[in-house]
Structure 1
């Protein structure tokens, strides 16, 4: 469940972080786009209170992270990433031998 706008600015707990990441992941499963992050809604973006900006950004980023992880797994980019990583490691080993 997303934090209500009136508590944005409060410190985020680890439970909230996980909930927001799961919400982002579910949003991707449901077909929402990254720009549909609920923390981008105008009423959720802090204005005039710079102390709340860091907490808002953490919540925004937690949702976005969950969305991006799910997106990467659906697009097969995680496998591609690791294949490229392994290939690079093999090249380095062959240069050393």
Structure 2
């Protein structure tokens, strides 16, 4: 796992710990979408999934 992906997962976990929902994923904001940033869809998708994975792990720990 790359350091970037690991950091993004930690950000997702932190967001859950702060009470944010899975829909607060910052990669779902229009300005972070590939159409706006020019980023390849595969890279954006990996980041969005990493954040969500971190969020889900933290959520499961709280269940």
Q: Say whether the fold is shared (TM-score over 0.5).
A: yes
Partners of 1:29 and 1:70 lie apart in 2 by: 7
Question: What secondary structure sits across from 1:24 in the alignment?
Answer: helix
Residue 15 (structure 1) aligns with: 3
Aligned structure 1 segments of 4 or more residues deviating by more than 3 angstroms:
none
Structure number with the bigger relative contact order (C-alpha 8 A, sep ≥ 6) is 2
Q: In the TM superposition, what is the alpha-carbon distance from 1:62 to its structure 2 partner? A: 0.3
What 5-or-longer segments of structure 2 have no aligned partner?
none
Residue 47 (structure 2) aligns with: 59
C-alpha RMSD of matched pairs (Å): 1.7
What 5-or-longer segments of structure 1 have no aligned partner?
1-12, 76-97
Matched, 1:45 2:33: yes
Aligned length: 62
TM-score (norm 2): 0.91
